[in-house]
Structure 1
Amino acid sequence: MKLDSDILIVGGGLNGPALALALGDTGFNVTVVDALPRGARGEEAFDGRGYALALASQRLLKAIGVWSRVGADAQPLLDIRISDGRAGEGPGPFVLEFDHAEIDEGPMGYMVEDRFLSRALLEAVEAHPKVTLIDGDTVVAQDIGPASVTLVLGSGRTLTGRMVVGCDGRRSGTCERAGIGRTGHDYGQTSLVCAIDHELPHGGVAHQFFMPPGPLAILPLPGNQSSIVWTESHTEAAHIHALDDEGYLAELRPRFGSFLGEISLAGKRFTYPLNLTVANEFIADRLALVGDAAHGMHPIAGQGLNAGLKDVGALAEVLTEAKRRGEDYGRIDVLERYQQWRRFDVAQMVAATEAANRLFSNDNPLLRTARDIGLGLVNSVPGLRRGFIREAAGLTGDLPRLLQGRQI
């Protein structure tokens, strides 16, 4: 049977194209199916949405030829400051500070706007001789055979490949059609996302300010602009989002403070209800899940895309090595290597984000005292602090080669 591609990827957001490029570079023929039409990604207009890419993620993007397309528009993350407090009262007495100068590798990461990263991945995919992009079409059925996979698209077209990878988000149709269950819960929180102009320079410093309803992240963008990820209860977030721009700013200012001078809104406003959803299995025969399709977690540590790119690096490495050994890389015993590699790291990350959200998203006076003391203790122990800095940069654990900046 002649196959259309070696590997079929469902999902054209960020992880899908990144995986396609990584696999294409090692000789696989890859087809990416994107539900959105080509012009819907990488829009020119500024909307403030961005990603905090860990240094390891930046290395992967460089290794697959994407970083050269976005590096000039990226903002290095030089410092991260974590504090606890209440709206209108400012941060508590202890601040945990991560300074990139404490490690040798350079900035801990980079802020990259969605419009630049999406466009760079799309351009790289379109230019890659081993990658085919089908846009504006959806998968409506999938059939897993003993040696191949067949996908049926909404347009009526069929595609065949050796295996399929679901990069289609938290409500992954690939996962659902495979009969893989999911575990999770609603956080009762919604993130308000926007961008601001501010009077004073941010100096490449990212801030994570923990308040009882949820964290406020202030993430530096190029120039005197920052991306805001502001978490409130569902009810309060809906109320704030319904306000006009001046009312919205009136709610933000006491939480934000005055350390960057006067602030104003830049671009659009967005809301994202928060939930935890983890696939019970990351694989099935001739099928693998990547990114939010495998694990959607709380954004409290900004690790969603970074975790997805770790999946990309791990799966690309497993499949490439299996192919080089002459193995049938779509078999479940091969894909189990990917699951074993990623499962423990994801479980650790989920546990850490769950614990952090429970610890900080409350106003219990005993817990407030304990966490403030904890922040101060970590900040006062250089070795422990450097360990957290390396963790934030994505430099710990069993890293795939691409995240080390090496080719597979």
Structure 2
Amino acid sequence: MAESGNTPPNHTPGGADITTEVVVLGGGLAGLTMAAALASAGVPVACIDQDSPDRQAGDGFDIRTTAISYASMKVLEGAGVWRHMEAQAGPMLDIRIADQFSSLFVHYDHTELAMDGKNQPFGWILDNKDIRRALFARAAELPGLVHLAPAKATGVERTRSGAAVTLADGRTVRARLVIGADGRRSLARESAGIKVRRWSYDQSAIICTIRHSEPNKGIALEHFFPTGPFAVLPMTDNRCSIVWSEKTSLVKTYLGLPDAEFIEELTRRSGGYLGEIELLTRREAWPLSVLLAERFIAGRLALIGEAAHAIHPIAGQGLNLGMRDVAALAEVIVDAHRLGLDVGGPEVLARFQRWRRFDTVLLAAVCDGLVHLFSNDIPPVRLARDLGMAVVNRLPPVKRFFMRHAMGVVGDLPRMIRGVPL
């Protein structure tokens, strides 16, 4: 990561107007990975990032963590980012899913499935700040990536021949294609008049990181309670990430509990297998909702990540869905670039939308259905849920399919996910 006062030329926030092939609006986890993937494959790209490469973690540092599936790891590996973060990644070797504390559950064991000729973790859990550091480190290595950080976009204009993004400092970034990776309140999406469907859940996610006395053994635990799923996700150094979905009306009460009472509730919900628990971070709550753009493209524009979709974290697929966007869009852009075609042309963008739209809508619907299925305590429904999980657990072919789905390796996979260079 660049040090303050010694910022590489491709990170300078000031300077003249910029002309490039592609401009990525948004330097978050999906946006900067997108830029790194393109630059790694020889496509000139600029990334407009509101963050700064030399910002240090302080009282307001990001305490969130992210589940990186096996497929997302392959995307990060192909973009040259994974080696900068692998040491901080806690592997998920087993996934245990239960309806509250039922004895009927689903158990995924990574030794039951081989990828690349060997057993692989289902995924990894990392602190968001470690992912950001890795992305900044990779961006600094790529001369073909102009990383404008910190910088803020104020306008997007698109014509038949190209696009221009105006920055708050008066500069303009011109390109053939704008990639909107700028989150739920996407300027890129709004500039194109793309409508979204939104709906909210009566739930918020309470998050924090804990340290525990017993080893987590790479076990990811998810218990479904009527008020929302409760997940314990394994990290390095005897730590776990807590993602506790709860009725919004109760969240303030739980956040206000003394540490000892909060830890007691965590121990009860997790079953106590982690031993003694201590809180390592503050507690935060994030309201849960769904956002789905009516389309992922417009003239000279493609949307990825939460600019295009945001789903419930019940299956831990939020960023992983965005990483599949990255892999698919990078492939169609690189193929067009190498053939000397217009990377922002309608045929290229239409190919991306065909590839990603169905998968996204389907997963959003599945996650929404799971939320409604498990967010109740009606006895017949609960019995059906428990029996369903028991059946899946006892049918190896079915279980292997769901295991592959958890790893992100089901469907028409882009080259990056298959481990094939762009």
TM > 0.5 fold call: yes
Partner of 2:13: none
CA RMSD of aligned residues (A): 1.8
Name which of 63, 74, 79 aligns with 1:59: 74
Partner of 1:103: 113
1:291-321 residue CA offsets vs partner (Å, 9 max, x unmatched): 1110100000000111111000000001111
Partner of 1:73: 88
How far apart in 2 are the matches of 1:82 and 1:48? Answer: 25
How far apart in 1 are the matches of 2:102 and 2:261? Answer: 26
Checking the alignment, whether the CA contact within 8 Å between 1:298 and 1:353 is kept in structure 2 is: yes
Checking the alignment, whether the CA contact within 8 Å between 1:322 and 1:328 is kept in structure 2 is: yes
Q: Does 1:249 align with 2:259?
A: no
Q: Name the amino acid aligned to 2:45.
A: V
User: 1:43 offset after TM fit, Å?
Assistant: 7.4
User: 1:358 offset after TM fit, Å?
Assistant: 0.7
Partner of 2:52: 37
Partner of 1:84: 99
Matches within 5 A, 1:5-404: 5-40=20-55, 49-85=64-100, 91-105=101-115, 106-404=120-418
Q: Name the amino acid aligned to 1:376.
A: A
Q: Name the amino acid aligned to 2:204.
A: T
Change (3 A) 1:27 1:127: same
**2:286 aligns to what SS in structure 1?**
strand
What stretches of structure 1 of length at least 5 have no aligned partner?
Answer: 86-90
User: 1:107 offset after TM fit, Å?
Assistant: 1.4
Checking the alignment, whether the CA contact within 8 Å between 2:232 and 2:242 is kept in structure 1 is: yes
Checking the alignment, whether the CA contact within 8 Å between 1:20 and 1:32 is kept in structure 2 is: yes
What stretches of structure 2 of length at least 5 have no aligned partner?
Answer: 1-16
Checking the alignment, whether the CA contact within 8 Å between 1:20 and 1:131 is kept in structure 2 is: yes
**1:23 aligns to what SS in structure 2?**
helix
How far apart in 2 are the matches of 1:32 and 1:371? Answer: 45
Q: Name the amino acid aligned to 1:363.
A: D
**2:282 aligns to what SS in structure 1?**
strand
User: 1:252 offset after TM fit, Å?
Assistant: 2.8
Q: Name the amino acid aligned to 2:92.
A: L
How far apart in 2 are the matches of 1:407 and 1:322? Answer: 15
Q: Name the amino acid aligned to 1:13.
A: G
Q: Which runs of 4+ in 1 moved over 6 A?
A: 41-47
Change (3 A) 1:127 1:8: same
Q: Which 10-residue stretch deviates more, 107-116 or 40-49?
A: 40-49
**2:68 aligns to what SS in structure 1?**
strand
Partner of 1:88: none
**1:39 aligns to what SS in structure 2?**
coil
Change (3 A) 1:204 1:276: same
Checking the alignment, whether the CA contact within 8 Å between 2:40 and 2:80 is kept in structure 1 is: no
1:307-349 residue CA offsets vs partner (Å, 9 max, x unmatched): 1110000000011112222321212232010000001111111
User: 1:243 offset after TM fit, Å?
Assistant: 3.2
**2:266 aligns to what SS in structure 1?**
helix
1:57-95 residue CA offsets vs partner (Å, 9 max, x unmatched): 11111111111111122111110000011xxxxx11201
How far apart in 1 are the matches of 2:111 and 2:27? Answer: 36
